[in-house]
Amino acid sequence: MKTKKLTILALFTALAFVIHYLESMLPTLIPIPGIKPGLANIITLILLYYYGFKDSALVLITRILLVSLLFGQFLSFSYSLAGGVLCLIAEWLLLKALNKRFIPIVSALGGLTHNMAQLAVAFALTKSKGVFSYLPYLAVSGIITGAVIGLIITFLAPHLTVLLTDGQTYPKQDE
Protein backbone atom coordinates (compact mmCIF):
# COMPACT_ATOMS: atom_id res chain seq x y z
CA MET A 1 0.00 0.00 0.00
CA LYS A 2 1.42 3.32 -1.00
CA THR A 3 1.98 5.85 1.77
CA LYS A 4 -0.43 8.35 0.29
CA LYS A 5 -3.19 5.79 0.03
CA LEU A 6 -2.56 4.54 3.55
CA THR A 7 -2.75 8.09 4.87
CA ILE A 8 -5.94 8.82 2.98
CA LEU A 9 -7.60 5.59 4.16
CA ALA A 10 -6.65 6.41 7.78
CA LEU A 11 -7.95 9.95 7.37
CA PHE A 12 -11.20 8.72 5.87
CA THR A 13 -11.66 6.14 8.62
CA ALA A 14 -11.34 8.92 11.19
CA LEU A 15 -13.74 11.09 9.21
CA ALA A 16 -16.35 8.32 8.89
CA PHE A 17 -15.98 7.55 12.58
CA VAL A 18 -16.62 11.16 13.60
CA ILE A 19 -19.59 11.50 11.21
CA HIS A 20 -21.11 8.28 12.56
CA TYR A 21 -20.62 9.40 16.16
CA LEU A 22 -21.94 12.95 15.65
CA GLU A 23 -24.97 11.58 13.85
CA SER A 24 -25.79 9.31 16.78
CA MET A 25 -25.92 12.39 19.02
CA LEU A 26 -28.55 14.12 16.88
CA PRO A 27 -32.06 13.99 18.35
CA THR A 28 -34.39 11.43 16.75
CA LEU A 29 -36.76 13.39 14.55
CA ILE A 30 -38.87 10.45 13.46
CA PRO A 31 -39.40 7.92 16.26
CA ILE A 32 -39.11 4.87 14.04
CA PRO A 33 -36.19 2.56 14.66
CA GLY A 34 -33.76 2.49 11.76
CA ILE A 35 -34.53 5.89 10.26
CA LYS A 36 -31.45 8.09 10.27
CA PRO A 37 -29.43 10.06 7.70
CA GLY A 38 -26.59 7.52 7.47
CA LEU A 39 -24.12 10.21 6.43
CA ALA A 40 -21.09 8.01 7.17
CA ASN A 41 -22.02 6.08 4.04
CA ILE A 42 -20.74 9.07 2.05
CA ILE A 43 -17.22 7.94 2.98
CA THR A 44 -17.93 4.31 2.08
CA LEU A 45 -19.25 5.25 -1.33
CA ILE A 46 -16.46 7.74 -2.07
CA LEU A 47 -13.82 5.10 -1.34
CA LEU A 48 -15.72 2.54 -3.40
CA TYR A 49 -15.90 5.04 -6.25
CA TYR A 50 -12.19 5.91 -6.22
CA TYR A 51 -10.35 2.96 -4.68
CA GLY A 52 -12.58 -0.07 -5.07
CA PHE A 53 -14.27 -2.70 -2.97
CA LYS A 54 -11.44 -3.90 -0.72
CA ASP A 55 -10.33 -0.53 0.62
CA SER A 56 -13.89 0.62 1.12
CA ALA A 57 -14.81 -2.56 3.01
CA LEU A 58 -11.72 -2.16 5.20
CA VAL A 59 -12.67 1.38 6.19
CA LEU A 60 -16.34 0.46 6.69
CA ILE A 61 -15.61 -2.46 9.00
CA THR A 62 -12.99 -0.50 10.95
CA ARG A 63 -15.45 2.33 11.43
CA ILE A 64 -18.26 0.08 12.64
CA LEU A 65 -15.91 -1.80 14.97
CA LEU A 66 -14.60 1.45 16.45
CA VAL A 67 -18.03 3.00 16.99
CA SER A 68 -19.45 -0.18 18.52
CA LEU A 69 -16.47 -0.77 20.78
CA LEU A 70 -16.30 2.79 22.05
CA PHE A 71 -19.92 3.90 22.25
CA GLY A 72 -22.30 1.13 21.35
CA GLN A 73 -23.48 -2.23 22.42
CA PHE A 74 -23.30 -5.50 20.58
CA LEU A 75 -26.75 -4.75 19.17
CA SER A 76 -25.80 -1.67 17.19
CA PHE A 77 -22.80 -3.62 15.89
CA SER A 78 -24.89 -6.37 14.31
CA TYR A 79 -27.29 -3.87 12.72
CA SER A 80 -24.59 -1.60 11.37
CA LEU A 81 -22.47 -4.45 10.05
CA ALA A 82 -25.33 -6.27 8.28
CA GLY A 83 -26.65 -3.03 6.78
CA GLY A 84 -23.26 -1.61 5.91
CA VAL A 85 -21.78 -4.70 4.29
CA LEU A 86 -24.85 -5.57 2.21
CA CYS A 87 -25.16 -1.95 1.11
CA LEU A 88 -21.50 -1.97 0.07
CA ILE A 89 -21.87 -5.19 -1.94
CA ALA A 90 -24.97 -3.86 -3.71
CA GLU A 91 -23.29 -0.56 -4.56
CA TRP A 92 -20.15 -2.37 -5.74
CA LEU A 93 -22.12 -4.56 -8.16
CA LEU A 94 -24.13 -1.59 -9.42
CA LEU A 95 -21.06 0.58 -9.92
CA LYS A 96 -19.56 -2.18 -12.07
CA ALA A 97 -22.59 -2.08 -14.34
CA LEU A 98 -23.31 1.63 -14.30
CA ASN A 99 -21.52 4.75 -15.38
CA LYS A 100 -20.37 7.06 -12.58
CA ARG A 101 -22.90 9.63 -13.68
CA PHE A 102 -25.56 7.47 -12.07
CA ILE A 103 -24.15 7.64 -8.53
CA PRO A 104 -27.47 8.86 -7.02
CA ILE A 105 -29.27 5.78 -8.39
CA VAL A 106 -26.52 3.48 -7.11
CA SER A 107 -26.65 5.18 -3.73
CA ALA A 108 -30.46 5.09 -3.50
CA LEU A 109 -30.46 1.34 -4.16
CA GLY A 110 -27.65 0.98 -1.64
CA GLY A 111 -29.70 2.82 0.98
CA LEU A 112 -32.68 0.59 0.25
CA THR A 113 -30.49 -2.52 0.61
CA HIS A 114 -29.07 -1.16 3.84
CA ASN A 115 -32.48 -0.72 5.44
CA MET A 116 -33.83 -4.05 4.20
CA ALA A 117 -30.80 -5.80 5.72
CA GLN A 118 -31.41 -4.06 9.02
CA LEU A 119 -35.05 -5.09 8.92
CA ALA A 120 -33.97 -8.69 8.39
CA VAL A 121 -31.69 -8.44 11.43
CA ALA A 122 -34.54 -6.90 13.45
CA PHE A 123 -36.76 -9.83 12.46
CA ALA A 124 -34.05 -12.34 13.39
CA LEU A 125 -33.58 -10.73 16.79
CA THR A 126 -37.19 -10.10 17.78
CA LYS A 127 -38.65 -13.13 15.97
CA SER A 128 -41.77 -11.05 15.50
CA LYS A 129 -43.56 -10.42 12.22
CA GLY A 130 -44.59 -7.05 13.64
CA VAL A 131 -41.33 -5.47 12.50
CA PHE A 132 -42.36 -5.83 8.86
CA SER A 133 -44.93 -3.05 9.27
CA TYR A 134 -41.88 -0.76 9.18
CA LEU A 135 -41.05 -1.95 5.68
CA PRO A 136 -42.64 0.87 3.65
CA TYR A 137 -41.24 3.51 6.03
CA LEU A 138 -37.76 2.06 5.87
CA ALA A 139 -37.94 1.69 2.09
CA VAL A 140 -38.86 5.36 1.65
CA SER A 141 -36.20 6.58 4.08
CA GLY A 142 -33.51 4.35 2.55
CA ILE A 143 -34.20 5.54 -0.98
CA ILE A 144 -34.37 9.21 -0.03
CA THR A 145 -31.29 9.31 2.19
CA GLY A 146 -29.40 7.20 -0.37
CA ALA A 147 -30.29 9.55 -3.20
CA VAL A 148 -29.26 12.58 -1.14
CA ILE A 149 -25.90 10.96 -0.35
CA GLY A 150 -25.46 10.21 -4.05
CA LEU A 151 -26.12 13.86 -4.92
CA ILE A 152 -23.64 15.02 -2.27
CA ILE A 153 -20.98 12.81 -3.87
CA THR A 154 -21.84 14.10 -7.33
CA PHE A 155 -21.15 17.62 -6.12
CA LEU A 156 -18.01 16.62 -4.21
CA ALA A 157 -16.52 14.56 -7.05
CA PRO A 158 -14.59 17.33 -8.88
CA HIS A 159 -12.81 18.29 -5.65
CA LEU A 160 -12.22 14.73 -4.50
CA THR A 161 -10.72 13.72 -7.80
CA VAL A 162 -7.86 16.17 -7.22
CA LEU A 163 -7.30 14.99 -3.66
CA LEU A 164 -7.52 11.27 -4.21
CA THR A 165 -5.98 10.66 -7.60
CA ASP A 166 -3.25 13.21 -8.26
CA GLY A 167 -5.62 15.10 -10.49
CA GLN A 168 -6.53 12.49 -13.09
CA THR A 169 -10.10 13.02 -14.16
CA TYR A 170 -11.32 9.44 -14.18
CA PRO A 171 -9.21 7.30 -11.90
CA LYS A 172 -10.70 3.96 -12.79
CA GLN A 173 -10.81 4.61 -16.52
CA ASP A 174 -8.53 1.66 -17.25
CA GLU A 175 -11.03 -0.88 -15.95
Partner 1 sequence: MSDNLTMKKEERFALILGILLSIILITSLIIIFKDNFNDKSLSRTACIYSDGKLVKEIPLNSQTPDMTFTIESKYGSNTITVKEGAIAVTDADCANKICVKEGFISNSRLPITCLPNRLIITIKTKDDSALDAVTY
Stretch in the footprint of partner 1 (CB under 8 A) among 6-14, 15-23, 105-113, 152-160: 105-113
Is 22 or 163 the residue whose CB approaches partner 1 more closely? 22
Amino acid (one-letter) located at 25: M
Shortest distance (Å) from residue 10 CB to partner 1:
29
2-20: b (≥16 Cβ within 10 Å) or e = eeeeeebbeebbebbbebb
Helix 74-97 with 41-50: angle, nearest 10 deg: 40
Is 73 a binding residue for partner 1 by CB under 8 A? The answer is: yes
The single residue among 6, 10, 75, 162 that binds partner 1, judged by CB under 8 A, is 75
Is 133 a binding residue for partner 1 by CB under 8 A? The answer is: yes
Is 96 or 159 the residue whose CB approaches partner 1 more closely? 96
Is 134 a binding residue for partner 1 by CB under 8 A? The answer is: yes
Nearest to 41 by CA among 101, 98, 106, 102: 106
* Interface map 141-160 toward partner 1 (x if CB under 8 A): --xx----------------
- What does the alpha-carbon distance between residue 50 and residue 69 come to, in Å, rounded to a whole number? 28
